[in-house]
Amino acid sequence: MSVWAQEASESEKKSSCITCHLEMGDELAAPIEGMKEDVHDRQGLSCEDCHGGDPTVGFDGDMEASMDPEKGYIGIPKRTEIPQFCARCHSDPNYMRRFNPRVSTDQLSRYKTSTHGKLLEQGDTKVATCTDCHGVHGIRTAKDARSAVYPLNIPETCGQCHADEEYMQDYRIPTNQIEEFKQSVHGMALLEKGDQAAPACNDCHGNHGANPPGAPSIAFVCGQCHLNNSELFFESPHKEAFDEMGLPECETCHGNHAIEHPTDAMVGAGEQSICTDCHEEDSKGYVTAVAMRQQIEKLKSQMSLADSLVTKAERAGMQVSEAQFKLNDADDALIKARTTVHSLSVSQMSAVTEEGMKLSEEALQTGREALAELQFRRKGLAVSMVVICILAIGLYMKIKDVDKKHPLRTSDKLT
């Protein structure tokens, strides 16, 4: 058990660190305000658990007695020492389990594998250490919306350095990741819709360095969430070809920070096709691209024809809900067909689009029948109107005829 653990129970007592630092005011008192919301404080830890020293002496103003190196006072760590400073607890499973039985204690060992950790070890103090991402006095769990590592706050936290051109000028990397991310499908989903299923920076890069960029496992990162695309890609001819050429997998076609909503125009031989970037006319890749696009377009036009007929029938008050269900299912097939682009197999796509074609043909048929029925009902209505008119005219003539034969007398009218 670490010395820190033994001291934890003492922290309940009145602390001279707090008493004196409050008196000193300003910067020396600021940590106390911050600590009120800190996870460490909630666990009963206090100043001396991190900084060392003796909080039971020094109430008389003797700061040396309290902040005494003999009593373990270590003061504030240098930037290069911060990981070790935090890790003396966070890498000690025996100590940490007393507070939380399921806590992980791998932050430091992972951090050492990241670019940040490696460069810090070489003495580069501009990289991120524990306190740059978590703060100092006022550290919160990631679940707390005010935490610097809460998913929605992550881009800002990384952006303190990565979006600061001047700060990053010594390094040969761009400073546009945050800007690009904000406009990407992922950034919009996370930051605008608050959809936490979408990745923040750390979901792709790892919290502490599990998946540093450049590692072959970045492909698995996309695949963790986009399972189907990943499986199809891995079975496709691109897998081996991209590996051989040293091309990143998903990123080659979709990018990384500026990922956009893909469109059908990305497949085929048109101007926006990405297939033609690598495949020459008449090659197998090219022919496949064209065939795939045709499948998708054929299904889309069949669906839109069916949809317009069904909608027309519905507006006229016909019961067409079954056809609408079929069109919804056809739409699901279209979505699946777009995923099968990643297989590069026209037959695999056809299996899906044909199902969609069948459903939209059935919907189309229902739409046609509904409109025919409507036509029939309208004709029926017209015929009955004519019959009613004829009857009405007949009745009118009859009344007139009777009136002529028996005109009303004035005396009758008065009674």
Site for ligand HEC, residues 323 to 362, rule: CB under 6 A: 338-339, 341-342, 344
Pairwise CA distance, residues 235 & 409, whole Å:
102
The number of residues that bind ligand HEC (CB under 6 A) is 144
**Closer to ligand HEC at the Cβ: 71 or 312?**
71
We find the least distance from the C-beta atom of residue 355 to ligand HEC, in angstroms, to be: 16
**Residue in 120, 138, 295, 296 binding ligand HEC, rule: CB under 6 A:** 296
152 contacts ligand HEC (rule: CB under 6 A): no
Does 320 engage in binding with ligand HEC (CB under 6 A)? Answer: no
197 binds ligand HEC, rule: CB under 6 A? yes
Stretch that binds ligand HEC, among 123-131, 298-306, 383-391, 405-413 (CB under 6 A): 123-131
Q: Residues 16-35: x/- map of binding to ligand HEC (CB under 6 A)?
A: xxx-xx--x--xx-xxx--x
Q: How many angstroms separate the CA atoms of 204 and 221, rounded?
A: 6
Cβ nearer to ligand HEC, comparing 30 with 305: 30
Least separation in angstroms between residue 302's CB and ligand HEC is 16
Footprint of ligand HEC on 91-110 (CB under 6 A): 96, 99-100, 103-104, 107-108
Work out which of 11, 55, 303, 318 binds ligand HEC, going by CB under 6 A. 55
- Name which position in 199, 327, 363, 367 contacts ligand HEC (CB under 6 A): 199
Long-range contacts, 6-15 (Cβ 8 Å, 24+): 7/48, 7/49, 8/43, 8/44, 8/45, 8/49, 9/44, 10/48, 10/55, 10/56, 11/44, 11/45, 11/46, 11/48, 11/49, 11/55, 12/44, 13/55, 13/56, 15/46, 15/47, 15/48, 15/55
Residue 364: how many CA atoms within 13 Å on its side-chain side? 15
Least gap, CB of 309 to ligand HEC (angstroms): 25
**Contact between 270 and ligand HEC per CB under 6 A:** no
Round to whole Å and give the CA distance between 51 and 7.
12
Which window, 194-202, 313-321, 395-403, 404-412, contacts ligand HEC (CB under 6 A)?
194-202
- Residue 319's alpha-carbon distances to 359, 374, 379, in angstroms, are 18, 11, 19
Instruction: Give the C-alpha separation, 253 to 289, whole Å.
Output: 14
Nearest Cα residue to 224 out of 256, 199, 261: 199
